[in-house]
Amino acid sequence: MRLRINDIPMTLGAGAKNLREAAAEILGVSPESILSVDVLRKSLDARRNRPPFFVYAVVVTVPDSIGIPDSRDRRISLEADQAFLRTPQMRPIRTRKRPVVVGSGPAGLFAALVLARSGLPVLLVERGKAVVERIRDVQAFWEKGEFHPESHVHFGEGGAGTFSDGKLTSRVKNPLTAWVKKILVEMGAPRNILIDAKPHIGTDRLRRIVVRMRQELQDLGCEIRFAANMTDVIVQRGAVDGIVINGREEVRAEQLILAIGQSADDSYRMLHDRGVQLAPKPFAAGLRIEHPQALIDEIQYGPWVGSAELPPAEYALAVRIPDLDRAVYTFCMCPGGQVIGCSAREKGVVTNGMSCSRRDGPFANSAVVVNIRTEDFAGTSLHPLSGLQFRRRWEAGAYALGGGRYFAPAQRLVDFLEGRPTREGMETSFLPGVVPAPLHRALPGFAVEALKRGLGAFNEKMPGFLTGEAVLIGVETRTSSPVRIVRGTDGQSVSVRGIFPCGEGAGYAGGIVSSALDGIRAAELLLESLA
């Protein structure tokens, strides 16, 4: 008999080796009666004013003779016979029709994987470069300010997630999440992502995983083309009939999965011109904040800081400003990471956070953002692409405030709140570099006011957050897409049949896991349309 036991607390130093004894005590049996222990989940409870401890959920195997345990203990339940709740609906389909997947981020890669494992002859096109070449271009940008319009943090193999923390957390409750993690482990991710409550891979490992996924797809017969920009969509009688690559090569296709990411402004404009229905979408924008990681550790762990078992400390903060009707919250927190320049266009500055698997850098960073409503874009004259123009305006402003060369405007947190300039140098991880600048000019007035009040409130929730060591860097505008490619319940564009929009760029996902899940959904619905 297999039983699931939740909420098993284990003190620091106890280690997972004592789980058998802890489970036996909860069940009221001897440790020898437990035949096996499998860890399902591990989380850290580091709430203040008490020692941190780990919380486990496990499945134990015990002899049937023990009988069903006391049903009044809600921690214990019968475990269904399952390894992973569901796998994608991959059905063998014999067809000469060649579906095209546009984009090689998580949505595109997982969509292509499902289609290829179903036997379809997939073509995957990516406007950017393969990951090794792409890394060289991104390093040149960070070190020398050399911007490559078709090869940067947003375009290229693996998508924007290739240069990120590799977080695998998601608010989406989907039984396929376990399958996504299983595939990532098969491609080289560490096995602990299967049980950690806050799993992450790290950009260093993620790059190797992306290459493994490419090799897997090619072994399945998928053709992958880099430096292949979808510059047009061919539409006949309300249905897709193919795409144009690099302005000259026509590729016929009746099924097109669009996983273009949220930074392909030219693709959005082209799709709008071709009659693909788009809609403006709320998003969030703000700044990136950076503290010394040692300070965050001390705030979060208190007297228990320095324990070898404790990971670099994290935080998640949120507050609502009622009279402004705005929410201010942290987003994409990267312990032991660095703030990176991730410009998606010439003469525009954008920030993001990134960390490697060890998370052992000297800084902690996070986005601090405020919600942006569609009416903020352009008042009453709202256009489906108004959000793109809104975003471009503030990114161009950040470039100007940084003095060009893709340096970012920056200001000490205390100076930003007091409305005074930062004059002395700031220690920060940002590359290519920062320039002291008044960040109240980097965002709309309503956002600046909300951020000031929100940051002050954060210090009440997390005393020590407001410090002279904290630096704000602008601007953070790529939290999610300000555009949605409208789709129906069948997963297809409501205006052009055969187009399956998915991922961040479609406006239906955000982050690695939710984008991968959305790509899987698009592939399943495409297969269903062919059945």
Q: Tell me the mean pLDDT in the region 347-366.
A: 97
- Report yes or no: 335 and 313 within 8 Å, Cβ to Cβ: yes
Q: Tell me the mean pLDDT in the region 351-365.
A: 97
Q: Tell me the mean pLDDT in the region 241-262.
A: 98
Residue 52 three-state SS: coil
Q: What's the confidence (pLDDT) of residue 30?
A: 93
State the DSSP H helix or E strand holding residue 109, giving kind and residue range, or none if neither. Answer: helix 106-117
Tell me the backbone φ, ψ of residue 258, rounded to 5 degrees. Answer: -95, 110
pTM of the predicted model over 0.85: yes
The token pair at 114 is: 């499902």
Residues 6+ apart with CB under 8 A from 350: 341, 342, 343, 344, 395, 398, 475, 476, 477, 478
Asked whether residue 80 carries a pLDDT value surpassing 70, the answer given is no
Mean pLDDT of the chain: 94
Q: What's the confidence (pLDDT) of residue 380?
A: 53
Q: What's the confidence (pLDDT) of residue 269?
A: 98
Percent of the chain with pLDDT over 90: 88
For residue 412, what are the CA distances in angstroms to 7, 408, 427, 431?
41, 13, 10, 17
Q: What's the confidence (pLDDT) of residue 82?
A: 53
pLDDT category, 84, cuts 50, 70, 90? very low
pLDDT category, 89, cuts 50, 70, 90? confident
Of 142, 323, 109, which is closest to residue 220 (Cα–Cα)?
109
Q: pLDDT per residue over 426-458, tens digit each?
A: 999 999 999 999 999 999 999 999 999 999 999
Rg of the chain taking only CA atoms, in angstroms = 24
Asked whether residue 212 carries a pLDDT value surpassing 70, the answer given is yes
Asked whether residue 500 carries a pLDDT value surpassing 70, the answer given is yes
Q: What's the confidence (pLDDT) of residue 72?
A: 78
Give the bridge partners for 242, in sequence order.
Answer: 234, 252
Residue with the two structure tokens 């470039």: 399
Q: Tell me the mean pLDDT in the region 203-210.
A: 96
Of 379, 296, 393, which is closest to residue 337 (Cα–Cα)?
296
Q: What's the confidence (pLDDT) of residue 74?
A: 87
Asked whether residue 81 carries a pLDDT value surpassing 60, the answer given is no
DSSP state of 506: G
Q: pLDDT per residue over 114-168, tens digit each?
A: 999 999 999 999 999 999 999 999 999 999 999 999 999 999 999 999 998 899 9
Annotate 451-470 with b (16+ C-beta within 10 A) or e (fewer).
Answer: bbbbbebbbeebeebbeeeb
Residue ranges of domains in the chain, CATH in brackets: 2-78 (3.30.70.2700), 100-277+481-530 (3.50.50.60), 283-476 (no CATH)
Asked whether residue 83 carries a pLDDT value surpassing 70, the answer given is no
> Lowest-pLDDT range, 70-74, 123-127, 304-308, 486-490?
70-74
What's the CA gap between 269 and 33, in Å, rounded?
Answer: 65
What's the CA gap between 512 and 171, in Å, rounded?
Answer: 12
Of 404, 427, 422, 284, which is closest to residue 341 (Cα–Cα)?
404
Asked whether residue 34 carries a pLDDT value surpassing 90, the answer given is yes
Q: Measured on CA atoms in the order 296, 298, 300, 301, is the torsion positive or negative?
A: positive
Q: Tell me the mean pLDDT in the region 218-247.
A: 98
In 402-472, which ranges are continuous DSSP H helix? 413-418, 445-461
